[in-house]
Amino acid sequence: MERTVYVNGNYVPESEARISVFDRGFLFADGVYEVTSVLNGKLVDFAGHLRRLHRSLGELKMAMPCSDDELLKIHRALVEKNAVSEGLVYLQITRGAADRDFLFPAQATPTLMLFTQARSVIDSPLAKRGARVITVEDLRWGRRDIKTVQLLYPSMAKMIAHERGVDDAWLVKDGAVTEGTSNNAYIVTQDGTIVTRDLSSDILAGITRAAVLKCARELQMKVEERPFTVEEALRAREAFSSSATGFVCPVVEIDGTAVGDGQPGPVAMRLRQAYIEESLKAAI
Ligand code: PLP
Residue 103: pLDDT band (50, 70, 90) is very high
Residue 145: pLDDT band (50, 70, 90) is very high
Contact assessment for residue 239 and residue 186, using Cβ atoms and an 8 Å cutoff: yes
Mean pLDDT over the full length of the chain: 97
The mean pLDDT of 273-280, rounded to a whole number, is 96
Contact assessment for residue 139 and residue 153, using Cβ atoms and an 8 Å cutoff: yes
Question: Residue 65: its pLDDT value, please?
Answer: 96
Percent of the chain with pLDDT over 70: 100
Question: Residue 200: its pLDDT value, please?
Answer: 98
Question: Residue 31: its pLDDT value, please?
Answer: 98
d(CA 228, ligand 1 centre) in Å = 18
Residue 231: pLDDT band (50, 70, 90) is very high
Question: Residue 260: its pLDDT value, please?
Answer: 96
Identify the residue whose C-alpha is closest to ligand 1 atom 10: 183
* Catalytic annotation, pick one of 147, 158, 214, 222: 147
Ligand 1 binding pocket includes 196 (Cβ within 6 Å): no
Identify the residue whose C-alpha is closest to ligand 1 atom 5: 182
The mean pLDDT of 225-236, rounded to a whole number, is 98
Contact assessment for residue 177 and residue 135, using Cβ atoms and an 8 Å cutoff: yes
Q: In the annotation, is 147 catalytic?
A: yes
Residue 1: pLDDT band (50, 70, 90) is confident
Ligand 1 binding pocket includes 204 (Cβ within 6 Å): yes
Q: Which residues contact 121 (CB under 8 A, 6 or more apart)?
A: 37, 39, 86, 87, 88, 245, 246, 247
Nearest-atom number in ligand 1 for the CA of 52 is: 15
d(CA 204, ligand 1 centre) in Å = 6
Question: Residue 36: its pLDDT value, please?
Answer: 98
Instruction: Report how far residue 58's alpha carbon sits from residue 66's, in angstroms, rounded to the nearest whole number.
Output: 14
Domains and CATH numbers, the chain: 4-118 (3.30.470.10), 125-282 (3.20.10.10)
Instruction: Report how far residue 64's alpha carbon sits from residue 120's, in angstroms, rounded to the nearest whole number.
Output: 31
Q: How many alpha carbons lie under 13 Å from residue 29 in its C-beta half-sphere?
A: 9
Determine phi and psi for 276, rounding to 5 degrees.
Answer: -65, -45
pLDDT tens readout for residues 7-32: 999 999 999 999 999 999 999 999 99
Ligand 1 binding pocket includes 184 (Cβ within 6 Å): yes
Counted residue by residue, the chain has a size of 284
User: Residue 24 CB: number of other CB atoms within 10 A?
Assistant: 23
Residue 93: pLDDT band (50, 70, 90) is very high
Instruction: Report how far residue 194's alpha carbon sits from residue 185's, in angstroms, rounded to the nearest whole number.
Output: 10
The mean pLDDT of 101-124, rounded to a whole number, is 96
Instruction: Report how far residue 200's alpha carbon sits from residue 142's, in angstroms, rounded to the nearest whole number.
Output: 10
Identify the residue whose C-alpha is closest to ligand 1 atom 3: 182
The mean pLDDT of 262-274, rounded to a whole number, is 98
Burial class of residue 15 (count of CB atoms within 10 Å of its CB; 0-12, 13-18, 19+): exposed
pLDDT tens readout for residues 45-85: 999 999 999 999 999 999 999 999 999 999 999 999 999 99
Instruction: Report how far residue 91's alpha carbon sits from residue 70's, in angstroms, rounded to the nearest whole number.
Output: 13
Query: Taking 90 as the threshold, does the pLDDT of residue 130 lie above it?
Result: yes
Question: Residue 148: its pLDDT value, please?
Answer: 98
